[in-house]
Structure 1
Amino acid sequence: MTTPLLEVADLAVDFGSQPAVRGVDLTLRRGETLGIVGESGSGKSVTALAVLGLLPGAARVKGSVRLEGRELVGLPSRELAGLRGNKVAMVFQDPLSAFTPVYRIGDQIVEAIRVHQKLDRAAARTRAAELLDLVGIPDPRRALDSFPHEFSGGMRQRAMIAMAIANDPDILLADEPTTALDVTIQAQVLDVLRTAQRETGAALVLVSHDLGVIAGMADRVAVMYAGRVVETAPVDELFAHPRHPYTLGLIGAVPRLDGARGALVPIPGQPPAPGTLGGGCPFADRCPLVEDRCRTEEPALTGDGDHLAACLRADFLAGTRPAP
């Protein structure tokens, strides 16, 4: 379907005088996976949390977040609570802190089910066991009686995904769900996310700093830097023909198993701290293609078709493609 399920327009989030997100535009269609990638502090997680109104009280949110045409910014807490876990569900980065430590896993999943569905406790518990079985947790009925600390990190993340899909949401927001896991468990958790998406038909927003994860999971990618989207494109187009030096730098910093390039190629310098941005491109001090005009104006996100970039040298990069 071409009609967007979720539309984010000119989203801005400030913490006091510190801007964390600046004018983000995103669209998400049914069944689609949108990857959001960038360094720590680029605004990825804040953008995802702003969609569900999960930011702390000190945050000031402007712009528009529309779910099936319904505006979520400024929606009363009671109405947002009816959407959380039902229409839009969150898979948090750290499941150990996301689960309540003094309640059993089963009780927490049952509560998530019964908040939105008219089921008695026995039926909800049966459903919870089915969900744990779906995400690959052995002996799911016994696992329902475990506390979060009795699960390994991978099992906790599986249980978090089970809770997220309990009410067949239209959208899953996964905020760096594999960050604290080793590569073997990371692959298993990504398989579980694919299964969850297939079973529910949900669209997926996958926030990550791991380009390998994004390349394997996403249909489209939004690259964020200094609180805004600096490039967006279909995943194959983005990796084959990046049009922003930051995207090219992220790809160049990925380690290669074949050893063809030797040592990693880091991006020099650090991202700008919130509140320190000048009038030019925020990537200028780290950019190998910087020109004088880059320091006087911040480029708009422009381009042709589905491939947009916020760079004055985008046309140059589009014509100077990297080796395969």
Structure 2
Amino acid sequence: MSTTTTTTETVLRVRDLDVRFPTPRGEVHAVRGVDLELRRGEVLGIVGESGSGKSVTSMAILGLLPETTKVTGSIELEGQELIGRSDKQMSKLRGAKVAMVFQDPLSAFTPVYTIGDQIAETVLVHRGGTKQQARARAVELLKLVGIPQAEQRVDAFPHEFSGGMRQRAMIAMAMANDPDVILADEPTTALDVTIQAQIIDVLRTAQQETGAALVFVSHDLGVIAGIADRIAVMYAGRIVETASAEELFARPRMPYTIGLIGALPRLDESSGGPLVPIPGSPPSLIGLADACPFADRCPLAAAVCRGSEPPLATVDVAAGVAGE
């Protein structure tokens, strides 16, 4: 778990976020009424299958969705509303107040510029100063994330770095201007288990050095368990359960969360037995019916689940009962 000290100060607040994409087949309701709060210094894990809306939520926060996308609701960063801002206004925040660690750093970096030039440009745009100062900052950041021989590697091009090194460099770029929020969109997906652990350690370092709150998006509950203070589980565009990491793994309430945990390999159990997958596939988000979208895959589904989508209930953790 993250050991970073958190405060009660809310740095990011998302309310009733809706994201819709027009397509030839109909409107894709990719995010449906998402509510999130992120406190300063906290690590929030967002987990779910592909297509659940995790990455779209992150991209909406940064204002990186296509112009044809319909985004409604509220996204407040330190009390400032972000929805409705122009791309020019958002560009002043990206990299300075909110930074992103993308899933594929090879495509995120520009191939014709060196790693150092791209990190230095981020510093110059938001902090100013001389090119020499920006380059020195780039070297400092590469050392901080564990790039060996940073003084020489700063002049390397993205294709000259391994996948793990590129992800480290992407994290260095994200922390260049000490942002308030770092969004990490599945930063360990394409890496092997050993490198995954190293990248998580680098993200912890980045958070501690900048004091930022961290949103860690992943489809892997095992990875999330190693870094998150709090976890939000997404399914079919909604957050279906949220709790502290300890509470979620000890007492999951939503059948989908129980299924995700049941499909997770465990080191404390004898090997050789098959994992228990969740049957079926997530539903299409085009013309989604007014019913529980997990009903067709849920072993606990009842008739009421197919009549309308059940509202989520607040659970009293101490008492272990649902509130009204």
- 1:197 is matched with 207
Q: Please, which of 184, 190, 197 is the counterpart of residue 187 of structure 1?
A: 197
Whole-angstrom distance in 2 between the partners of 1:54 and 1:123:
29
Whole-angstrom distance in 2 between the partners of 1:101 and 1:306:
50
CA displacement at 1:2 relative to structure 2: 1.5
Work out whether 1:64 is the aligned partner of 2:70: no
- 2:309 is matched with 298
Alignment of 1:8-157 (within 5 A): 8-16=14-22, 17-157=27-167
- Verify the 8 A CA contact 2:315 2:321 in the aligned structure 1: no
One-letter amino acid matched to 1:262: G
Q: Deviations over 1:108-128 (max 9, x none)?
A: 001000000121000110010
Whole-angstrom distance in 2 between the partners of 1:306 and 1:6:
24
Q: Deviations over 1:194-217 (max 9, x none)?
A: 001011110000000110111110
Whole-angstrom distance in 1 between the partners of 2:43 and 2:282:
27
Gaps of 5+ in 1: 308-313, 319-324
Identity %: 67
- 2:283 is matched with 272
Q: How many residues align?
A: 311
- Verify the 8 A CA contact 1:37 1:224 in the aligned structure 2: yes
CA displacement at 1:38 relative to structure 2: 0.1
One-letter amino acid matched to 1:139: Q
- Verify the 8 A CA contact 1:90 1:172 in the aligned structure 2: yes
One-letter amino acid matched to 2:121: E
Q: TM-score, normalised by structure 2?
A: 0.93
Q: Please, which of 164, 167, 176 is the counterpart of residue 186 of structure 2?
A: 176
One-letter amino acid matched to 2:156: S
CA displacement at 1:184 relative to structure 2: 0.6
CA displacement at 1:244 relative to structure 2: 0.3
CA displacement at 1:315 relative to structure 2: 5.7
Partner SS state of residue 302, structure 1:
coil
Partner SS state of residue 119, structure 1:
coil
Q: Which consecutive aligned stretches of 4+ in structure 1 deviate over 2 angstroms post-superposition?
A: 256-261, 304-307
- 1:6 is matched with 12
Q: Deviations over 1:111-170 (max 9, x none)?
A: 000000121000110010000000000011111110000000000000000000000001
- Verify the 8 A CA contact 1:234 1:306 in the aligned structure 2: no
Partner SS state of residue 184, structure 1:
helix
Q: Deviations over 1:202-254 (max 9, x none)?
A: 00000001101111100111000000000001110011000000000000001
One-letter amino acid matched to 1:270: S
Whole-angstrom distance in 2 between the partners of 1:74 and 1:231:
28
Partner SS state of residue 177, structure 1:
coil
- Verify the 8 A CA contact 2:97 2:181 in the aligned structure 1: yes
Whole-angstrom distance in 2 between the partners of 1:110 and 1:306:
47
Whole-angstrom distance in 1 between the partners of 2:64 and 2:207:
22
- 2:4 is matched with none
Distance 1:29 1:305, change over 3 A: farther
CA RMSD of aligned residues (A): 1.6
Q: TM-score, normalised by structure 1?
A: 0.93
Whole-angstrom distance in 1 between the partners of 2:43 and 2:77:
16
Whole-angstrom distance in 1 between the partners of 2:279 and 2:250:
23
Partner SS state of residue 226, structure 2:
helix
Whole-angstrom distance in 1 between the partners of 2:65 and 2:292:
27
Partner SS state of residue 277, structure 1:
coil
Whole-angstrom distance in 2 between the partners of 1:273 and 1:43:
12
Gaps of 5+ in 2: 1-6
Which is further off, 9-18 or 273-282? 273-282
Work out whether 1:236 is the aligned partner of 2:269: no
